Amino acid sequence: MRARSRTRAIRTIIAAIVLSWPLLSPVRAAPPVAALAALPTLPAHPDKGTATGLPLPRFVSLLSGDVNMRVGPGFQYPIEWVYKERGLPVVVEREFDVWRLVLAPDGGRGWMHEATLSGTRTFVVTGATHTLRRRPDPNAPVVAVLHAGVIGRIRRCKAGDAWCSVEVDGRRGYLRRDEFWGTFPDEAVP
C-alpha cells in the first residue's frame, strides 16, 4: 500500500513539473530594432491564409503593448518573447486556426494569437534619423524628425512609389519607403 502511495505521489509531482514547465521558462523583452529582418518577397499571386482567406504574407500590427510570441501555435507552448510596443508592424507568414506565425522587425519569428493583432497598417523607422516631409520631395518643408524605432501609421502608399503618406503622433507627412519597415517594396497600401 505504501509503495502505491509513494508511486502515486511521485507521478503527481512529475505531472506538476511537466505541466508547469512552460510557466517556468524565461520571458524576455523584445530587443531594440537594430538589425531589421529581411522581408519575404511578395509573390505575384499571393497565397491565402487557411483560417482567414487573406493574402499571405501580409503586414499587421500589435494590438496592445504586451503581446506574447510563442514557439508553437497554442497556449501550451512556451513564450519565447514578449513584445511591449503597441502598433509594432509584423508580417503574418502562416495561419493555423486562431494562431499566426509572424516575423517581427527584429527578426523574431513565432506564433501570436489573432486577438493580439490588428489590421491597422503601421511602420517602424529604421536606421538613423529620418525627416518627415510635407510633400513627397526631399526638398519639401520638414514636418518632424523621426528617430529609429519610432512607430507610426501608414496612411497611403502607391504601388512602386518611393514615398508613403504617414502619420506620427498626429503629424502627417511623407516618408521614403526605404526609411521604414512596414510595407513590401512595391506594395500598394490604400
What residues does CATH 2.30.30.40 cover in the chain? 47-120, 123-181
| Class in CATH terms, 47-120 | mainly beta
User: Which pLDDT does position 44 carry in this prediction?
Assistant: 52
User: Which pLDDT does position 71 carry in this prediction?
Assistant: 97
Question: Nearest Cα to 179, choosing from 136, 120, 119?
Answer: 136
The mean pLDDT values, 10 residues at a time, for the chain of 190 residues are: 44 39 39 52 68 94 97 97 97 96 96 98 95 97 96 96 97 96 93
Phi, psi angles (nearest 5°) of residue 8: -65, -40
Please check whether residue 99 is in contact with residue 115, taking contact to mean a CB–CB distance below 8 angstroms: no
The CATH number that domain 123-181 falls under is 2.30.30.40
pTM of the model: 0.76
Q: For residue 47, what are the contacts with CB-CB under 8 A and spacing of at least 6?
A: 55, 56
Q: Pull the grid cell for residue 131.
A: 525627416
- 98: helix, coil or strand? coil
